[in-house]
Structure formats: structure tokens, C-alpha cells
Amino acid sequence: MRLLKNILIWPIYSNIFVALCILGLTISSEILFRTSNYKLSQFVFFATLFTYNFQRIFRLRKIQNQSRKDWLNKNKLAVFILIAIGAIMSIYHFFDLKTKTQIVIVISGVLSVLYPFGLRKIPFSKIFIISLVWTISSMFLLVLENDIPIDSNVGFHLIGRFLFVFAIAIPFDIRDLKFDDKKLKTIPIIFGQSKAKLLAVLSLLIAEGLYIIQYFEKQIFSQHLIGIIISFLITSFFIIKSSEKKSDFYYSFWVESMSLLLYLILGFSTLML
């Protein structure tokens, strides 16, 4: 386990791993909608790389995780290079997208930027903003860019994606319990860890119910439904095991990787069609 941590510390702290996770979610959307858009998926990856590293550097003094803070101080040059690469590639792909997609990207980008400057004081805003922005980035942009008709099927998919991201975001609030100001009003602070984890698992169950409805309406394949259920069951396990005592690696790798797991299982189930 120590060797695995040492190998993964660079991609995790440089936010390359989280960018890969949202890329995995984006490709998962492509699988579910039976379409693809390489320009958009590349934009999402590089925009995430830029945004996360920019926020980390900008709020470096406020980072409570000493290990991550020390790593960032030691590798500032590398992080600035990643920020530059992320910005250049994001801009390059941004102007290749449709106007309606660009408008939504700007709106979600403004929402992300404003969060540290006041929005975070609104009760529960942190988790809802993260869930909304990740849902937009990993699914709604694809719907817009590929001109997928917005109907009940797309609506169910968007709600399901929101609930999935919402569920895996709750453990990160549990991790931050020892750091967050009690006035911040996160779900674990208000309701406690047990109820917060119950809410996360319930969110996954509701999302599963939506996918089951879609299956009976012949909107998704049975293989994909089974893959989603398996992925959500594994995700529930890691949510239930979450606690303040778990290491940052547990959240930054294992919980975060549930997004990649969903993509891998959906990709494998597609081979069975």
C-alpha cells in the first residue's frame, strides 16, 4: 500500500488523477448516449486540470492538508506548467465548440470561480456546486455539443449523474470535518457522519431507480444497467467506510476513482453487447 501511495502521489496532488476521473465520467456519458466527441472530452480534461491546479495554488495558504501543501510548495514550477498547459489546451478546444456549449461553459466556470469568494458561505453550497458543475462538464456539455434532444431520457441521465457525483462528494465533506469551520454548514456538520453516509447511499439508490425506469423504457441496455448497479454497489461500500480517521489517500484515490470505475465497468459491459 505504501508503494502504491508513493507511485500515485504525483498524479493525485498534481490533479492529473481528478482530471482523468472526470474524463472517465465524460466518456461514460458517451457510452450511455451512444455517441462521442473527442474535442469536448479533451476540453473537459484540460479545463479540469487548469481549474483544480489554479484553485490549489491560489488558495495555497488555506490548504489544511500539510502533506499536499508541502508537495505543492516543493513542486510549484511543475504545477504552473500544468496550469499553463491546461489553460492553453482548454482555450484551443473552447473555440472549436458550438456557441451554446461555450455559453454554458462560461456560466459553470463563473460559478466555480465565485465559490471561494462568498458562495461557500451559503449552507450546503459546496456539495451542490460541485455536483452541478461535474454534471454539466461530464454530461450536459455533450448533450449540447452533439445536439442530443433534451427529453425525459436525457433528464433522467442528468439527474442520475448529479446524484452519483453528490454521493461521492459527501465522503470528502466527512474527510474535511476536522478542517472545515463549523459555520460552513456542510451535510456531515449539520446531520452527522452516519446520516450523511445514509443520504449518499440513498442518492445512489434513487439514481439506480431512474436507470431501471430507463431500461424498461428501452433507453439503456441491460448490460449497462447491470454495470451501473455493480459500480454503485462498490461505491456504496467506500462511502460507508468513510470516516474522519481515514487518510487523505483513501478519499483522493479510492473514493475519487469511483468515477473511473463507472467508466471501466460500462466500457467492459459494452463489449458484452
Out of 32-36, 128-132, 144-148, 176-180, least confident range: 176-180
- List the one residue out of 105, 80, 237 whose CA is nearest residue 168: 237
All three cell numbers of 214: 430507463
The angle at the Cα of 231, spanning 226 to 236, to the nearest 5 degrees, equals 125
pLDDT in tens, 110-150: 887 776 666 666 767 788 989 999 999 999 999 999 999 99
36 φ, ψ (degrees, to nearest 5): -155, 160
How far is the C-alpha of 235 from the C-alpha of 39, rounded, in Å? 29
Q: What is the separation of C-alpha 132 from the centre of its chain, rounded to a whole number of angstroms?
A: 10
**Does pLDDT of 182 surpass 70?**
no
How much is the mean pLDDT over the chain?
90
Domain residue ranges of the chain, discontinuous segments joined by +: 2-271
Q: What is the pLDDT of residue 105?
A: 96
34 φ, ψ (degrees, to nearest 5): 55, 50
Q: Which long-range contacts (CB under 8 A, 24 or more apart) does 124-131 make?
A: 124/185, 124/186, 124/187, 124/190, 126/173, 126/184, 126/186, 127/166, 127/169, 127/170, 127/173, 127/186, 127/187, 128/166, 130/165, 130/169, 131/162, 131/165, 131/166, 131/169
**Does pLDDT of 249 surpass 80?**
yes
**Rounded average pLDDT over 80-103:** 96
Q: What percent of the chain has pLDDT over 90?
A: 70
Of 188 and 125, the one with more pLDDT: 188
Q: What is the pLDDT of residue 181?
A: 59
Out of 169-183, 185-199, 209-223, least confident range: 169-183
CB 221 within 8 A of CB 194: no
How far is the C-alpha of 214 from the C-alpha of 236, rounded, in Å? 21
Out of 24-28, 187-191, 215-219, least confident range: 187-191
**Does pLDDT of 186 surpass 90?**
no
Q: What is the separation of C-alpha 3 from the centre of its chain, rounded to a whole number of angstroms?
A: 26
How far is the C-alpha of 154 from the C-alpha of 213, rounded, in Å? 13
**Rounded average pLDDT over 145-168:** 96
How far is the C-alpha of 105 from the C-alpha of 262, rounded, in Å? 24
Q: What is the pLDDT of residue 176?
A: 82
88 φ, ψ (degrees, to nearest 5): -60, -50
- List the one residue out of 240, 220, 219 whose CA is nearest residue 228: 220
Of 121 and 175, the one with more pLDDT: 175
DSSP assignment of 157-215 equals HHHHHHHHHHHHHHHHHHHGGGTS-GGG--HHHHH-HHHHHHHHHHHHHHHHHHHHHHH
pLDDT in tens, 60-83: 666 666 788 888 889 989 999 999
DSSP 225: H
Q: For residue 104, which amino acid is it? A: V
Per-range mean pLDDT, top range of 2-16, 29-43, 106-120: 29-43
Confidence of residue 248 (pLDDT cuts 50, 70, 90): confident
Q: What is the pLDDT of residue 178?
A: 74
Of 36 and 57, the one with more pLDDT: 36
